[in-house]
Amino acid sequence: MDDLKWIGHASFLLQINGVNVYIDPFDLRMGKEHADVILVTHPHYDHFSPNDIRKVADNSTQIFVPKELEPKVDVGRVTGVVPDRKYSARGIEFETVPAYNTVESKLQYHPKANGWVGYIVNVNGRRIYHPGDTDFIEEMKGLKLDLALVPIGGTYVMDVHEAVEAANSMEANQVSPMHYKMLLGREGSAKAEGFFKMKAKNAKILKEIQEPKYSF
């Protein structure tokens, strides 16, 4: 998809009919184009980075964040979001999907009660799903999508085995992993990519526009 750029980790830039839409801008070292719209999934530092938001936003930027973050954004026109709603900005339509942990050992990281979200963005008739930080949840099953991005890093989100199960539960023309190189390191990332590509239906590995940061 030429209109989608993977910046790195869980950070993406969608360029839709001349409108720049960032999702979870973080560690922006390249491609710092002006943001018309910013979508933030939840408060963790690698998803909500006020410093990175300020690199690309100005007072014209429309910024959508979970409601608890509204007072913490000091630039742009801010809207608080909740799960299972539809929104629009600059002619771009998108909807929120719940994002939360279900595995007992991870429940404290992304509790469902916090109301954190993923986004499905309509891009010229195509549906692109960025799920935020989440486990494999019921709300994913049967989603009809053109592209599903899935975190595979484990620890705080799905590991690659859970991500394959999630990917195969959706009706997606393409599924691509994200949110793993900072967690798994170079060797672990290569192994996870290989497993995902072999086991997930319609899998495609994306390439970041920045040099990836691996764990050490």
pLDDT in tens, 83-92: 999 999 999 9
pLDDT of residue 105: 85
Q: Is residue 79 part of a domain?
A: yes
Q: Is residue 205 part of a domain?
A: no
pLDDT of residue 1: 59
Euclidean distance between the first and the last CA atom of the chain, given in angstroms as a whole number: 31
Domain at 135, CATH number: 3.60.15.10
> Strands 4-8, 11-16: parallel, antiparallel or unpaired by DSSP?
antiparallel
Helix orientation angle between 181-199 and 160-169, rounded to the nearest 10 degrees:
50
Mean pLDDT of the region 88-108: 94
The model's pLDDT over 26-50, given as tens digits with 9 standing for 90+, comes to 999 987 899 999 999 999 999 999 9
Predicted confidence band at 58 (pLDDT cuts at 50, 70, 90)?
very high
pLDDT of residue 107: 85
The 3-class SS string of 160-211 reads HHHHHHHHHHCEECCEEEECCHHHHHHHHHHHHHHHHHHHCCCECCCCECCC
pTM, 2 dp: 0.96
Q: Is residue 208 part of a domain?
A: no
Domain total in the chain: 1
Domain that holds residue 113: 4-199
Tally of CB atoms within 10 A around 80: 14
Tally of CB atoms within 10 A around 76: 21
Residue 103 has pLDDT above 90, yes or no: no
Element containing residue 56 per DSSP (H, E): helix 50-56
How many whole angstroms separate alpha carbon 171 and alpha carbon 200?
12
Mean pLDDT of the region 158-174: 98
The model's pLDDT over 106-134, given as tens digits with 9 standing for 90+, comes to 888 899 999 999 999 998 889 999 999 99
Mean pLDDT of the region 203-212: 95
Mean pLDDT of the region 154-159: 93
Q: Is residue 213 part of a domain?
A: no
Q: Is residue 69 part of a domain?
A: yes
